[in-house]
Structure 1
Amino acid sequence: MSDITLVRQQPVQLTAEERAVLTRCIFGIVDGLGERGRKQWRRLWSNILRLEPGEMLEIKTHQQRIGWYHRKHMALEQTLFESQDRFEVFEGFRDWLKVGAGFCDWYPGPKGGVFPVPKSISYTKLEQGEMEKFHNDAIEFLRTEHAGKTLWKHLTVTGRIEMLETILASFGEW
């Protein structure tokens, strides 16, 4: 989810021709969905244009997740979990993957160190672009020697690479 803070700059005088172009761009290229959406879109722009110099407005956006992409990632996690030897609980595996991909927040520990807290990948907390970044970072992490050794300690380096790449290829991850 993106938070955008807008601030009104000094007034600008537009000619009638410039206003027509602005209106055509704002409402012609993108518009609200349905009658209600169109009214909301026009109200938003009306509010933006009525701001006084220095006045601010915050907008929150959310890009909807793509269902098939989410299902593909979840299936990949499940397949990896079922193929590995280290983790007995799926949530432990998922937390390890999130931390390895850097998809976590870091908090101060009780003795002065820091510890990672994995972030959520739920539909409501993570939009599509962020999900794609997490997925790509997870793939990159899985290809490290550390990840291979953690998941398949009994295999040789070559065996670990072959195991991972076979799984990734079955999901179209080259």
Structure 2
Amino acid sequence: MSQALVMRDRSIALTDAEINTAQRVMTNGLRGVDEKNQKRWIRFLKTAFSLESGEIIEVGTRAPRSGRFHRYHMALEQAIFEAQDKFQHFDQFRNWIKVGAGHVDWVAGPKGGVVPLPKSISYMEMDEPAMREFHDAMLAFLRGQHAAVYLWKHLGADKAAEMMETVLHGFDR
């Protein structure tokens, strides 16, 4: 889900004609998919246009996830898991990938330090752009200096990197 904080900037004087034009474009150029959603959309626009200077509203959008891309990503994770020697449990492997990709919340640890807590990649938590961003970060991590060596320590750095590329190559899109 993509979220933005939006505020009304009244430092730019808009004429009534400009406001009316903007509202007409926003209510006719973009519409709710049905009557209920159109009413929600109009209510949101009225709220946004009536904000006082400096007042803030939060706007959230969700782009539906692509089932095809989801299956591709999950198959890639599974292929790497099956090829590696380090992890016995897929959930722990996935958490390691999330941490490596930076898909975490930083929280207080049990001894007072800060530790990474992996975030969800579920359909409810991530829309399509966020999933693709995570996927790209995961690939950057897997192709980085540490992942392959960690997964195939017995191979040495060069052979481990080759092994990673062999697995990833099968998933080039």
| RMSD of aligned Cα (Å) | 2.4
Report if aligned partners of 2:8, 2:56 keep a CA contact under 8 Å in 1.
yes
Q: Which blocks of at least 5 consecutive residues in structure 1 are unaligned?
A: none
How has the CA–CA distance of structure 1 residues 13 and 104 changed in structure 2, closer, same or farther, with 3 Å as cutoff? closer
What TM-score, normalized by structure 2, do the two folds share? 0.84
Report if aligned partners of 2:63, 2:128 keep a CA contact under 8 Å in 1.
yes
CA–CA distance in 2 between the matches of 1:61 and 1:158?
A: 43
Corresponding position of 2:94: 94
**What's the offset of the Cα at 1:120?**
0.7
**What's the offset of the Cα at 1:148?**
0.8
CA–CA distance in 1 between the matches of 2:56 and 2:98?
A: 36
> What's the % identity of the aligned pairs?
44
Corresponding position of 1:127: 127
SS of the aligned residue for 2:154 comes to coil
Q: Which blocks of at least 5 consecutive residues in structure 2 are unaligned?
A: none
How has the CA–CA distance of structure 1 residues 70 and 20 changed in structure 2, closer, same or farther, with 3 Å as cutoff? same
- Over residues 26-78 of structure 1, what are the superposed CA-to-partner deviations in whole Å (9 max), with x where a residue is unaligned? 13432211233223222221232233445443333222222211111111111
Corresponding position of 1:78: 78
CA–CA distance in 2 between the matches of 1:146 and 1:123?
A: 29
Corresponding position of 2:47: 47
**What's the offset of the Cα at 1:89?**
0.5
- Over residues 97-120 of structure 1, what are the superposed CA-to-partner deviations in whole Å (9 max), with x where a residue is unaligned? 111111112223333433221111
What TM-score, normalized by structure 1, do the two folds share? 0.83
Corresponding position of 2:137: 137
How many residue pairs get aligned? The number is 172
SS of the aligned residue for 1:155 comes to helix
CA–CA distance in 2 between the matches of 1:40 and 1:86?
A: 51
- Over residues 2-35 of structure 1, what are the superposed CA-to-partner deviations in whole Å (9 max), with x where a residue is unaligned? 333333343945254x356424531343221123
